[in-house]
Amino acid sequence: RRILRLAEMCRRLETEEEKVLPFYSSSLGDGEQEDARRVLEEMPTEPLAQAMRDYVGLERFWQRFNKVKLEEQALEKERAALRERNRRLRELLRRYLEGLSVSPEVLGGLNTL
């Protein structure tokens, strides 16, 4: 009950976009969706599966949670790519500036031109 009450409180804090279009469309095919629907309609025989039926209200929570985790991973990949790009650009800038300036270190080093 406490978790469901917290979920209701959090619902008020959602943006309009999350309320109107909270999830991506399903990537399952028609046959796969039909199979999933059939399995969900069957009465479970295992005790754990029967207990899970009590928590069907948390399904949307887990969908949102997984969506956020996917977005987090995508952002982390993008961050790593941007760091690598920044490193390459800094190296190119360093080489360019070395080519413009004349100092004993530059004269003693390998000629980049």
Residue-wise pLDDT for 11-66, tens only, equals: 888 777 776 665 556 666 778 778 877 776 777 777 777 677 677 677 777 777 88
Give the pLDDT score at 83: 98
How far is CA 49 from each of CA 7, 54, 63, 82, 91, rounded to the nearest angstrom?
Answer: 22, 9, 19, 44, 57
For the chain, the residue count is: 113
What predicted TM-score, i.e. pTM, was given to this entire model?
A: 0.51
Give the pLDDT score at 101: 72
Contacts of 58 (CB under 8 A, 6+ apart): 3, 7
